[in-house]
Structure 1
Amino acid sequence: MSETVIRTVAPPPGLLASLDPLLREWLPRQRWFAGKGRPVTGFTLVAATELLPPSARLGLYHLLVRAHQPALSARGGADRPGDCYQLLLGVREALPPRLAPALIGHPSQGPLAGRTVYEALYDTRPAELLLEALRARARIGGLRFERDPGQEIGSGLVPRLMTVEQSNSSVVYGDTFILKLLRRIVPGTNPDLELPLALAREGCPRVPPPTAWLLADPDETGATDGTGAHGAAGAPTASEPYVLGVLQPFVRGAADGWELALRELAKGEDFVAEARALGRTTAEVHTALARALPTVTLGRSRLRHMVAGMAERLEAAAQAVPALRPYADGLGSAYTALADLAAEGQTWTAQRVHGDLHLGQCLRSPAGGPSHAFGSGGQWSLIDFEGEPARPLAERRMPQPVVRDVAGMLRSFDYAARSADPPQPDWAVRCRAAYCSGYAETAGRDPRTDPVLLRAYETDKAVYEVLYEARHRPEWLQVPMAAVRRLAASGPG
């Protein structure tokens, strides 16, 4: 099908000003809002597209909005250019009861005064419109809806919003496709689209191939909201497109790896076979990524920079979390050992990796599905290649040793085991060993044969977990602290 161009009018002047007080209350309450704990002091409109005019029964706006907040360490409370968020806002006279959870508020002034504004992804028609635009490869203002011409998107697929999201939002269409809409947006190539596309070209069956994707060219939207400027001062100029969403096949009946592990723990069942299979899947994805994208050699200079970053993160975490301080020297020895090997001339190969691999990023499809379906036969697949959203995009796209992903999964087994009542650390030990053995069966190399590098990455991950839990879930702090005690006491082997 040829590309379809849909012409729309620009949003009305004063739109953002009318939404400002509502968004200041609503945005910080969303699970995917990254700036919790700091007030929102204002907004800048990066891009705006009117998808349906508000004069109709249902109005619909697509916005990219930058939220301004005080910096964490700002002296005098100075604001800084904040994160850019993707919003899909519906406008109605009043909400039907089924949409009550989606309410954002009622503007008291401006072009939407007297109307009701709500999160449009809860509503069937806006979700259908997104799929229709992807199917038609539409252009709507500065939005570009693109798809793989070799894949078809059927009609009549009923949408439903998944309500268990963390850093993004997802809509499932008739158990056939899932559309992941990124919430925190940065310009440039997003690995959540880049890596699955590369793996699809390699024919890797362990990652759902992108069917379609949504991009934005902010420079083409003409969005100024009366300020005459795109974006915030000091922000990117938006010369690069934004990746806003990815449509992929939905793995029907799949079990989330984290939930599956907890279920087996609660039943007292062994997870060794699943862990081994997951290790094979991880190695299969790593092997395909190494074929699809360039690899590099980490020499002395790059390793020194990498070790310095790990040491800086440890120092910052120890300053923020007093419980970590008694173990700082022991943890730092993991980085010293790695630096010593680098000084002796040892090198490692780095490649593109998942970047945030854990049980929650793995899906176990049910056995007995049709042989031609993605993920059939009761196998594991990996999803969500965005990397750690808090890290800069350029860092998330850097080649890394594969043990970074391995370390993340080893930590995830530990988390699952210690969340059981009572904790079952031996379960984690068995799963960790099985995962590494399964990895070696496919990759030809066991991650445990590189203990210094593996210990350094697992230590770096545990330090990150301590800082995260101390800030967001203090009741979970004992989970990474158990690993901290083990890692601080262990030697380089």
Structure 2
Amino acid sequence: MLTELLTGWITHQRWFAGKGRPIDNLVVDSDVQLAPRLRHVIISVHQAGACDRYQLLLGTDAPDEYRFKPAHIGEDYYDAAYDADLTCVLLTGMAENRDLGPLRFRHLDGVEINTSLRSLVLNAEQSNTSLVYGDTYICKLFRRLTPGVNPELEIVTALARRDGTHIARPYGWIETDLDGEPTTLAMTQEFLSNSNDGWALALTSVRDLYGTLECSASEAGGDFSAESFRLGVATAQVHHELAAAFPVDVIESQEVKRMVEEFGRRLAVAVAEVPELREHAHVAEEAYQRVSEVAREMPVQRVHGDYHLGQVMRTPTDWIILDFEGEPGQPIAERRALASPLRDVAGMLRSFDYAARHLLADHVDADELRPRAVEWAELNRSSFLAGYSAGGGHLRAEDAVLLRALELDKAAYEVVYEARNRPTWLHIPMAAFQLDR
């Protein structure tokens, strides 16, 4: 029986969010024939009173080469995302604006899609599955489905229609209706084949610095600060484009204070779960108090929402920003909510700290290298902020208080995450509560 096969298979998939909890029930909500041997299936997975929906491309009559994990599901069923002979249907559907049952395949006005390209699954992602077609397109399948238009599709298409810079060009998407709402199933963008992600480039710089003990961060061969400046400029420009493409607002000082109160509640939760944070919690509490004391009106707008070095790509000509989905696991309404652009700035500043420090986890010379990590992070943080200001980002002297609070709120979240998932990295966010910035 298909539901029994899927129940046993889905718990082993990287993108399945319910690991560690028994499945009480699995129901097939939708089953659409896309082509011979290819079905699009939406399932509901019930666990401990909660229900999550997932999509998969279900292949039937599995060829021998797909009788292996992770593609193999059981009997003659397999995950057809791995079958390039079948996934051409996705490109063709978008190119032709097809409707297949409840599924709607669409492309942006004025674009043409080459339907002859074969796909290959990227293995790097965890929450989604991305198919790369040749060296031209990347189609992201949103495995876990949340009713509503995905924020990334909404933002990237809006910016593309305004000839926005620093984004990967969108081509098309697939959608259906869930709970009465148009819901994004997949989207296709330009594949940045000749590029490197910011995290990898930053780590190259850090490794170079750690291997050249006689040089400063600005003198080592892997100096990253010029790129940090350019990234700051790009970030400010994207914030400007977001403000032009979507509504903006100003929240009153009382709302700012309520926001800071929420920071405090999250900090208390973090302290309860990670007792090591207790002796340093006063650093964040004092930072939050300073924001409350000087609280005033705060401009808010659409932002990236989950901004770090792993979300940016360096092409031969510029920085490109990816993954405008917002914080994973949050409701779409929260991910679409207006926020201070300084939230993105704070996220990138935290990412510089991570890049500088994570190599120290098991390093034999960690104590000797720690000051160099601080030096690298501070150099690139200041370069990023300088670029952000040069690019037109609103960063006044009085904003430093709010930015510090946003950083510590992010660090409190990181403390809990690392304690749960990567205890050897816990020292990285903990350091944010000990540095005098």
Settle same-fold status: TM greater than 0.5: yes
> 1:137: how far off?
0.8
Listed as ranges, the gaps of 5+ residues in structure 1 are: 1-17, 54-58, 71-79, 107-114, 219-237, 367-377
- For residues 173-230 of structure 1, what are the alpha-carbon distances to aligned partners after superposition, in whole Å with 9 as ceiling and x for unaligned? 1111111111221111221111111211221121123210110124xxxxxxxxxxxx
Q: Which runs of structure 2 are paired with 1:49-198 in the superposition (5 Å)? A: 49-53=32-36, 59-70=37-48, 80-92=49-61, 94-97=62-65, 100-106=68-74, 115-198=75-158
Aligned match of 1:479: 428
Whole-angstrom CA distance in 1 between matches of 2:397 and 2:162: 28
- For residues 237-283 of structure 1, what are the alpha-carbon distances to aligned partners after superposition, in whole Å with 9 as ceiling and x for unaligned? x1101111111111121101111111222233110001000000000
CA contact (8 A) 1:22 1:104 kept: no
Is 1:357 aligned to residue 307 of structure 2? Answer: yes
> 1:444: how far off?
5.1
CA contact (8 A) 1:23 1:104 kept: no
**SS of equivalent to 1:193:** helix
Partner letter of residue 267 of structure 1?
D
Partner letter of residue 457 of structure 1?
L
CA contact (8 A) 1:447 1:454 kept: no
> 1:24: how far off?
2.8
- For residues 418-447 of structure 1, what are the alpha-carbon distances to aligned partners after superposition, in whole Å with 9 as ceiling and x for unaligned? 023445221111000000000000115436
Whole-angstrom CA distance in 2 between matches of 1:86 and 1:448: 47
> 1:304: how far off?
3.1
Whole-angstrom CA distance in 1 between matches of 2:275 and 2:150: 36
Whole-angstrom CA distance in 1 between matches of 2:102 and 2:279: 53
Moved more, 169-178 or 333-342: 333-342
Root-mean-square deviation (CA, aligned residues, Å) is 1.8
CA contact (8 A) 1:41 1:68 kept: yes
Q: Which runs of structure 2 are paired with 1:375-386 in the superposition (5 Å)? A: 378-386=317-325
CA contact (8 A) 2:95 2:107 kept: yes
Aligned match of 1:468: 417
- For residues 25-56 of structure 1, what are the alpha-carbon distances to aligned partners after superposition, in whole Å with 9 as ceiling and x for unaligned? 32222222222332222123333212235xxx
Aligned match of 2:386: 437
TM-score by length of 1: 0.81
Whole-angstrom CA distance in 1 between matches of 2:423 and 2:7: 26
Partner letter of residue 484 of structure 1?
F
Partner letter of residue 306 of structure 2?
D
**SS of equivalent to 1:44:** strand
TM-score by length of 2: 0.91
CA contact (8 A) 1:213 1:247 kept: yes
Partner letter of residue 105 of structure 1?
I
CA contact (8 A) 2:25 2:47 kept: yes
Aligned match of 1:32: 15
CA contact (8 A) 1:199 1:209 kept: no
Q: Which runs of structure 2 are paired with 1:265-344 in the superposition (5 Å)? A: 265-268=206-209, 269-342=222-295
Whole-angstrom CA distance in 1 between matches of 2:277 and 2:185: 38
CA contact (8 A) 1:436 1:448 kept: no
Moved more, 354-363 or 327-336: 327-336
> 1:459: how far off?
0.8
CA contact (8 A) 2:236 2:393 kept: no
Identity %: 43
- Give the length in aligned residue pairs: 415
Whole-angstrom CA distance in 1 between matches of 2:393 and 2:285: 30
Aligned match of 2:212: none
Aligned match of 2:4: 21
**SS of equivalent to 1:175:** coil
Partner letter of residue 145 of structure 1?
F
Whole-angstrom CA distance in 2 between matches of 1:464 and 1:483: 12
